[in-house]
A and B are shown apart, each in its own frame.
Chain A
């Protein structure tokens, strides 16, 4: 019998969860929903529906469910309403795991150059 250690399960769980996050982000409608929540957090399904014209209520619900499974959106009931909040922690964890190790001076310098050229700073 194979004994799975906590460590192994931890790594496995993390990989599966990273998959969910990348898949959730790999869709323009879902990225749009996240952008709208970034602009104003805590919206109801109805309010989010208005932000995505051309998509049915069911379609918005389906996208929200993918975002919730990935942990990128957390829904909380407040009185009569279910409100949706952008949860930035999964993206932070991906940053720490995949990008943090590459953040040396050269990368930062290139990003600064990009910001400068694009007039962002």
Chain B
């Protein structure tokens, strides 16, 4: 298999059978984020200029401490990204995550996640390709009430 060249921008998009507001609420409500994001404990108000702090379920490890750059409910949320759970990634410069939620005809929402400014953060760029799993889990949670089971390990 050919390896992928790291580029500075990654784009993920999916349709969710939920309203724009429901998707916004899901990504900005700590209790809901925990359900589709590996049980993460999230502290934050999602107001511009404030921090979103994420720790492991047992509180022992800091996963992220990012700054909200822009908040336009229920359409757009922009925040910084740095993966703190790995020393190598934590040493890389901050990147940026943009969530765009569009209302579609028929009551659907289209969610686009853009992870960019990754040019100087190759380790982070290689690891955040896990977004499809978390976004699929968010979709499953909103549509069925259940997130996806943890990803299988092939080791």
Contacts and interface: CB of A to CB of B under 8 A. Distances in A.
Contacts of B112: 74
Contacts, number: 72
Interface residues of B, number: 31
Q: How large is the interface on A (under 10, 10 to 19, 20 to 34, 35 or more residues)?
A: 20 to 34
Given A9-B17, A13-B15, A112-B154, A92 B9 contact: no
Determine chain B's interface SS by DSSP, over half rule: mixed
Interface stretch (A23-31, A46-54, A58-66, A83-91): A83-91
Contacts of A42: 7-9
Interface of A is mostly: helix
A117 B7 CA distance: 32
Given A13-B108, A39-B2, A39-B3, 14 more contacts: A6-B107, A9-B106, A10-B17, A41-B9, A42-B9, A74-B11, A74-B13, A76-B11, A85-B9, A87-B11, A89-B14, A89-B132, A108-B154, A120-B1
Interface of A: 6, 9-10, 13, 17, 35, 38-42, 71, 74, 76, 83, 85, 87-93, 96, 103, 108, 111-112, 120
